[in-house]
Amino acid sequence: MQETKIRTSGDDDPPTERPQWVRLVAIALAIALVAGLLIAAIQGVTSSGADPDPNPGGAAGTNTEPDFSLTDEEAIERFQELEHRQIEAYRQADITLVSDFAGPGPFKDQVVRELRKMRKDDVTAVLRSKGQELLLVRNESTEITIQETATIDIQFLDEAGKNVTTKGEPQRLVIEWQLEPFDTGWLITESVAVESVPLG
């Protein structure tokens, strides 16, 4: 059985390295995924005993933005939910699933390009992982950063299910993921590999 360890920030920072191929795939999850998104809408408050004002003014009457703040546990759960969606997109080579986990920007564009190439080559990706650890580096109302460490093995399969992987070997990876809030909730906006150790 795979084990996932969740820690808080404070450990030594790993050296920076960015293998290009790691951006093509997501890390397979090791535990059941539970959606943990908390969206709290803050409404204006009228003075006690006064008639509601259709056009309220002042701080108490201004329209406020939704508060997307998450607890540390909810942040980890939301990341796992998004990562699971990304894994499914690669497993099915389905571009229509990208908006379910990726926010607008270079990360989303890269995922779409890779899925299009997979569809052109008629292959899908199978990802296996073990020893997953999650470190919550930053948890703010506008940004969440999670560092993930795991050993992964990636295989590409053709339509008949035959392994057509031509290169690559299991690797111990350290990846930093960045999440940002949008109208639909938190989405992944960046993925950077900070360490990669071949195990083959």
Question: Could you read off the pLDDT of 22-80 as tens digits, one per residue?
Answer: 333 333 333 223 223 222 222 233 233 444 454 544 455 555 677 889 999 999 999 99
Specify if 177 maps to a domain: yes
| Adjacent-strand bridge partners of 134 | 6, 148
Question: Could you read off the pLDDT of 105-144 as tens digits, one per residue?
Answer: 999 999 999 999 999 999 999 888 888 899 999 999 999 9
Specify if 43 maps to a domain: no
C-alpha dihedral sign at 54, 60, 63, 67: negative
Cβ–Cβ under 8 Å, residues 80 and 31? yes
The terminus-to-terminus CA distance of the chain in angstroms comes to: 22
Per-residue DSSP letter, 48: T
Specify if 50 maps to a domain: no
CATH number (domain holding residue 186): 3.10.450.50
Closest by alpha carbon to 194, among 28, 23, 9? Answer: 23
Residue with tokens 């795991």: 150
Specify if 24 maps to a domain: yes
Overall domain count for the chain: 1
Domain with 21 in it: 5-37+55-198
Closest by alpha carbon to 74, among 105, 23, 38? Answer: 38
Predicted local confidence at residue 60, as pLDDT: 52
Question: Global pTM?
Answer: 0.67
